[in-house]
Amino acid sequence: MRRIISVLMENEPGALSRIIGLFSQRGYNLDSLCVAPIDDSSLSRLTITTAGDDKVIEQITKQVNKLIDVLKISDITDGSHIERELMLIKVATRSETVRAEVKRTVDIYRGQVVDVTPKTYTIELTGTSDKLDSFVQTMGLTAEIVELSRTGVCGLARGEKSMRP
């Protein structure tokens, strides 16, 4: 089952490599990883999407939590939460019809065209991973996808709940 795990850790060199190393060392899935410092820049927040049965997920959270640099860990999947992923996708727009069709699809998905050249559109789209997947699929029917880049999921629990040091 797909899981979203949030991790608060020291913003130290080497900390990230320990997390990534742990996943490969213990044979856990690492589907996406999104990381950046938070308001207190001595800390970083990571969001990991992974998959596994309850036993595996329990091990992942325990093993990650055991890393010396890790302060807190929380599996936000079960509780009510917000998750977002950002994608930049470049498509070939060789004809006027394709351009119009691309624009229409972008509007439907509430994306934005952020760069235009005579032959390409670059689109920015934010949403759940499902939404991004669906956009890629739809776009593939309309125009040729030149390249794309996704940030991986980042997420927060809804409401009062928070993960602070």
Partner 1 sequence: MGERQVEMMSGAAMVVRALKDIGVKHVFGYPGGAVLDIYDALYAQEEVQHILVRHEQAAAHMADGYARATGQTGTVLVTSGPGATNTITGIATAYMDSIPMVVLSGQVPSMHIGEDAFQETDMVGCSRPIVKHSFLVKRAIDIPDAIAKAYYIANTGRPGPVVVDLPKDVVNVQESHPYHFPEKVQMRSYNPTIKGHMGQIKKALKTLLEARRPIMYVGGGAIACDASSLVTELAEKLHLPVTNTLMGLGAFPGTHDQCLGMLGMHGTLQANKSMHNADCILALGARFDDRVTNNVQKFCPHATIIHVDIDPASISKTVNAHIPVVGSIKTVLTQFFEQMHEIDENERKEQLADWWEQIHAWRNRQCLNYQRSDELIKPQQVIESLYKHTGGDAYVSSDVGQHQMFAALYYPFAKPRRWINSGGLGTMGFGLPAAMGAQFAHPESVVACVTGDGSIQMNIQELSTCLQYGLPIKVISLNNRALGMVRQWQDMIYKGRHSHSYMESLPDFVKLAEAYGHIGIKVEKPEELDEAMARCFAAKDRLVFMDIAVDQNEHVYPMQIKYGAMDDMRLSKTERT
Would you tell me which residues interact with partner 1 (CB under 8 A)?
Answer: 9-10, 13-14, 17-18, 21, 25, 55, 58-59, 62-63, 65-66, 68-71, 165
The burial of 39, by beta-carbon neighbours within 10 Å (0-12 exposed, 13-18 middle, 19 or more buried), is given as exposed
Nearest residue (CB) to partner 1, 6 versus 93: 6
With residues binned 3-state (H G I as helix, E B as strand, rest as coil), the percentages for the chain, rounded to 5, are: 30, 40, 30
Alpha-carbon distance 161 to 79, whole Å?
A: 10
Alpha-carbon distance 9 to 14, whole Å?
A: 11
Q: How far is the CB of 74 from partner 1 (least distance, A)?
A: 15
Q: How far is the CB of 37 from partner 1 (least distance, A)?
A: 15
Q: How far is the CB of 157 from partner 1 (least distance, A)?
A: 21
3-class SS of residue 64? helix
Nearest residue (CB) to partner 1, 14 versus 118: 14
Nearest residue (CB) to partner 1, 17 versus 41: 17
Q: How far is the CB of 24 from partner 1 (least distance, A)?
A: 9
